[in-house]
């Protein structure tokens, strides 16, 4: 589990992945990426439950992309992505990435 003053990330087993609650900005984006990069050896796709993410800035999305691209295999699957974040990803040119998939 990862926790700071405005974000809690917990591991999930079915499906294998992480559940986010709170806010990601430039103060914790790097920590999120590091947490994401550890502990998923041998796992193909990692499923991220984003429905409890009330805020995520550009650096947060960038960290997710970098974490996804640095893996040897598999993708990051984003579930329950809030509409605003979908809009931000579309506006920044990050809507259709091979390793970071928005699951509708």
Partner 1 sequence: MTNLHEADRFRHEALLYANADQFVAGTVPFIRDGIRAGEPVLVVESVAKIEILREALGGDGEAVMFADMAGVGANPARIIPAWQDFVSRHEGATRLRGIGEPIWKERTPDELIECQRHESLLNVAFGRGRPWWLLCPYDTEKLDAAVIDEARRSHEFVTEGSHAEPSDLFRGLEASGAPFDAPLPQRGTALGRTTFGPNDLASVRSLVAHHADAAGLGAMRAAELVVAINEVATNSIKHGGGRGTLTVWQETSALICEISDRGRFAKALADRERPSESVAAPRGLWLANQLCDLVQIRTIPDGTVVRLHMRRSATQGLN
Q: Which residues bind partner 1 (CB under 8 A)?
A: 5-6, 23, 25-27, 55, 57-59, 62, 65-66, 69, 83-84, 87-88, 91-93
In 3D space, the residue among 55, 20, 43, 45 whose CA is nearest the CA of residue 100 turns out to be 45
Smallest distance, partner 1 to C-beta of residue 23, A: 7
* Closest to partner 1 by CB, 16 or 90: 90
Q: What is the signed CA dihedral for 23, 25, 30, 35, rounded to 10 degrees?
A: 10
Smallest distance, partner 1 to C-beta of residue 14, A: 30
Q: How far apart are CA 104 and CA 71, in angstroms?
A: 23
């Amino acid at each position: 589990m990862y926790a700071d003053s405005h974000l809690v990330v917990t591991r999930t087993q079915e499906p294998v992945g992480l559940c986010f609650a709170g806010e990601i900005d430039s103060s914790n984006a790097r920590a999120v990426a590091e947490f994401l990069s550890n502990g998923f050896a041998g796992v193909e796709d990692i499923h991220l439950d984003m429905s409890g993410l009330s805020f995520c800035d550009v650096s947060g999305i960038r960290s997710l992309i970098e974490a996804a691209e640095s893996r040897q295999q598999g993708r990051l699957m984003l579930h329950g992505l809030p509409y605003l974040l979908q809009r931000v990803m579309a506006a920044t040119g990050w809507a259709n990435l091979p390793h970071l998939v928005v699951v509708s």
